[in-house]
Amino acid sequence: MINNSTRGKLIVFEGPDGGGKSTQVKLLAEMLNDFGKKVITLREPGGTIIGEKVRDILLDSKFIEMATKTELLLFMAARAQLVEEVIIPALNEGTFVICDRFIMSTIAYQGIAGGEKIEDIKNIATLATNSLNPDITIVIDVPTEVGMKRVGSKKDRMENKGFDFHHKIREGYLMLAQETNNVFIVDGTASIENLNEKIMEITKRELF
């Protein structure tokens, strides 16, 4: 059980492919470090030895036959391991955990774009994460054309799914951001510095 008074904070970055999340995760971690906070950064799927193996299966372009339900359960399995092995212990030690993607990715990719029932995904997520929710979620929004262009031609299995799929994801994120607490949308077409400033402002306002 997490003791609320000394608990760290879970900050999640979300958004379509090509939004620049990994750069912003790194910059926010450096700034929180400068503020004297203990910080770890994680990516999903991955972040544990088991999770990285699951990631290899999920992103391998060879597996074109993978069913969306299989995909959903594998993403969630990697997440269950990450929560139990890394996130909960870190939060219990008072660490700020910055995670590149979390449950909202499964809702957007396998739910809204992939067609699986959102209610089912939420129920599986409750089991996988012991009902852990982010303290804040930053959605880096980017038009589908821009995101796909940034990803370029070296695409993984998820990035290969085509324009319409990715457009549904973008629309899905915008919708989910409206209906979920503690979610903040930022403009992924802004400069790296401006985006970092905006994200730092939200983080300080909401969590310090």
Single out the residue of 24, 48, 95, 105 in contact with ligand TYD (rule: CB under 6 A): 105
Min dist CB 103 to ligand TYD, Å, is 7
Check if the beta carbon of residue 127 is closer than 8 Å to that of residue 94.
Answer: no
- The 10 Å Cβ neighbour count of residue 99 is 24
Cβ–Cβ contacts within 10 Å for residue 33, how many? 12
Q: How far apart are CA 43 and CA 171, in angstroms?
A: 23
At its nearest, how many Å lie between ligand TYD and the CB of residue 205? 25
Closest to ligand TYD by CB, 90 vs 107, is 107
Closest CA to 158 of 71, 70, 48, 79: 71
Q: How many CA atoms lie within 13 A of 106 on its CB side?
A: 29
Site for ligand TYD in 43-82 (CB under 6 A): 43-45, 59, 75
Residue 46 C-alpha from the chain's centroid: 11
141 binds ligand TYD (CB under 6 A): no
Under DSSP, the state recorded for 186 is E
Q: Is 109 a residue that touches ligand TYD (CB under 6 A)?
A: yes
- Selected from 24, 41, 48, 106, the binder of ligand TYD by CB under 6 A is 106
DSSP, collapsed to helix, strand or coil, labels residue 181 as coil
Of residues 54 and 91, the one with the C-beta less far from ligand TYD = 54
Stretches 30-38, 81-89, 97-105, 188-196: which one binds ligand TYD (CB under 6 A)? 97-105
Task: State yes or no: residue 173 binds ligand TYD (CB under 6 A).
Answer: no
Residues that bind ligand TYD (CB under 6 A): 17, 21-22, 43-45, 59, 75, 100-101, 105-106, 109-110, 156, 158-159
